[in-house]
């Protein structure tokens, strides 16, 4: 019986360790200006299947994201952000979506 319990514990440990290895943390630049941008960016990223955390810093323009790499990947997250009008260094913003943003969220002329 003790051997059986040890085997079950070992199998559970392997399963749990393989699940945690699918979790990834990433951070990257996302163009934006204000708290409305922050809400839009974070809400969009959290709607991507597999994303568990999204935090965009207004000052640094850095998005920190945690996700399950078996369900999504970094490129899909970049694309989701770009599709709502916020470009990244990897994927340019969707111009039509950007044009429909609130004035303070739009790209400044000097950028």
End-to-end Cα distance, the chain: 68
Tokens linked to 31: 């163009």
Global model pTM greater than 0.85: no
DSSP assignment of 66-101 equals EEETTT--HHHHHHHHHHTT--BSSS---HHHHHTS
The answer to whether the beta carbons of residues 77 and 45 sit under 8 Å apart is yes
* pLDDT, tens digit (0-9, with 9 covering 90-100), for 67-79: 999 999 999 999 9
The answer to whether the beta carbons of residues 61 and 81 sit under 8 Å apart is no
* pLDDT, tens digit (0-9, with 9 covering 90-100), for 54-69: 999 999 999 999 999 9
Per-residue pLDDT band for 23 (boundaries 50, 70, 90) equals very high
């Amino acid at each position: 019986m003790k051997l059986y319990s040890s085997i079950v514990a070992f199998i559970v440990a392997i399963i749990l360790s393989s699940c945690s290895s699918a979790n990834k943390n990433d951070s990257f630049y996302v163009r934006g200006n204000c708290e409305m941008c922050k809400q839009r960016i974070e809400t969009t990223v959290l709607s991507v299947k597999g994303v568990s955390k999204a935090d965009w810093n207004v000052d640094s323009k850095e998005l920190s994201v945690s996700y399950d790499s078996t369900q999504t990947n970094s490129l899909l997250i970049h694309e989701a952000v770009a599709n709502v009008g916020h470009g990244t260094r990897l994927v340019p913003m969707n111009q039509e979506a950007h044009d429909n943003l609130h004035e303070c969220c739009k790209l400044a002329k000097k950028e």
